[in-house]
Amino acid sequence: MVQIIHAEYGRRVALVNGDELHLLSTYRTAYAFAMAAIETGQKLRELLSTDLSGIVLDYREVYALSSGWRFLPSFDHPEHTACCLVSGCANAHGVTEAALPAAPPWFTKGNGMHLRAHGEPLTIPACALSGAEEAELAGVYLIGPDGVPRRVGLTPGNEFADPAMAGKDARLLSRAKLRTCAIGPELVLDAEFQDVAGSVAVERAIGGVGRPIWCKEIRTGEKHTAFRLEEIEQRHFEFDAHRIPGDVHIHFLGGSVSSFGDGVLLEEGDEVVIQWEGFGLPLRNPIEREPAETAVAAVLPL
C-alpha cells in the first residue's frame, strides 16, 4: 500500500501490483482504511482488495517523480501531526548476551511533522555535527477506539541521526537523534520480521550523474536483533500515554550499519537509497543541509 497526493486530485491510497498502482475508492488515507478495518472487524487486506476504484497509474512513472503525483509517508495521521508519535528502539542490533539491556531501550524521535516520504529531503540542521542514514524497518501502529494497539504493517525507513555528536558525548544521544526521518514508499501488510535482507547506498552527483560512493548489504529481523518484535512492542506500549485512541505510532526497529562508520560524510545533494527484499521499490531521499547562519530560536518571557 502507498499514499500519494496530486495538486488537482488530492490524496489517494493505492495498492501495488507489479508496475501498477491501483487507486482505492472509499477513503483517501491509509489511516481511514485502517480505522475502518478496526471498527468493522474486517482484515485490512480484505477491506483494501475489495475497494478498487478501477483507476490504474504507472507505478514506475509515479516512483520516478516524473508525473503530477508525489509520495506521502506510507502512513501518517492525516489531520493532527502531533497525534503521530515517531520513536525507535536503540541498540537493537549487535548487542552481546552479557551486555543485553533488561528491556528494549526506546527513544522518542518526534511527531508526524518530522516524517518525510520517498523523494523528500532529509535535513542536517545547523546545530548538528554530522548527518548519517540509518537503514531500518519501522513498525506502523494505530491505537483503536478501545485503546488497543494494532500493527498495521512494516515499512522501509531511514531513521537519520548525527553519529558524530553521539560519538563525542554519549550523553547527547537524544540530541543526536535528528528530527527528520523517512518511511516508504510502501507499507507492507502482514510482513514477517524474522530475517530480512537489504541494501543501503549513498549516491553522489559526479559529472552530473548520481553514482554510488558507498554501499553495503544489510540484514534485520529477530534473527539479528537483541529483542523479539513482541518484546519491543510490549515495552513501548506498556505506557498508557502510548495507548491513546486514534493515535499513530511509527517505531523504528533499529539499524546495524551506517556510511559514517566507514568514513563517509554526507553532503548536500547526496541521495540515500534503502531497499529491503519483499518491501517493494527502494526508499530514496536527498540530503540537504540547513544554512550555518540559521538563527537560534529565542525564548521570550511573557
Q: What is the pLDDT of residues 188-203, one digit of tens each?
A: 999 999 999 999 999 9
Among 72, 92, 118, give the residue marking a domain's end.
72
Q: Looking at the structure, tell me whether residues 221 and 266 fall in a common domain.
A: yes
Confidence at residue 97, expressed as pLDDT on a 0 to 100 scale:
64
59 and 206 fall within a common domain: no
| Structural domains in the chain (count) | 2
My answer on whether omega of the bond before 185 falls inside 30° of 0, hence cis, is yes
**Same domain assignment for residues 116 and 180:** yes
Q: Does residue 128 sit in the same domain as residue 256?
A: yes
Pair (4, 141) in one structural domain: no
Task: Decide if 274 contacts 283 (C-beta within 8 A).
Answer: yes
Nearest to 131 by CA among 286, 273, 266, 258: 266
Looking up residue 122, the CATH number of its domain turns out to be: 3.90.850.10
Question: Residue 15 in contact with residue 49, Cβ under 8 Å?
Answer: yes
Give pLDDT, residue 297.
82
Q: Based on the fold, state whether residues 205 and 146 are members of the same structural domain.
A: yes
Structural domain including 46 reads 1-72
Q: Which of 57, 72, 87 is the last residue of a domain?
A: 72
Does the structure show a pLDDT above 80 at 95? Answer: no
Q: Are 142 and 226 members of one domain?
A: yes
Question: What would the pLDDT profile of 142-178 be if each residue is shown by its tens digit?
Answer: 999 999 999 999 999 999 999 999 999 988 888 899 9
pLDDT beyond 90 at 210 = no
Q: What is the pLDDT of residues 241-285, one digit of tens each?
A: 999 999 999 999 998 899 999 999 999 999 999 999 999 999 999
Mean pLDDT in residue range 203-207? 91
Q: Is residue 36 part of a domain?
A: yes
The answer on 87 and 167 residing in a single domain is yes
Q: Are 141 and 126 in the same domain?
A: yes
- Domain presence at residue 113: yes
Both 211 and 184 in one domain: the answer is yes
Predicted local confidence at residue 209, as pLDDT: 84
Q: Is 64 in the same domain as 84? A: no
- Whether residues 83 and 196 share a domain: the answer is yes
- Which of 72, 101, 118 marks a domain boundary? 72
- pLDDT tens, 116-143? 999 999 999 999 999 999 999 999 999 9
| Predicted pLDDT of residue 256 | 85
What is the per-residue pLDDT for 232?
A: 94
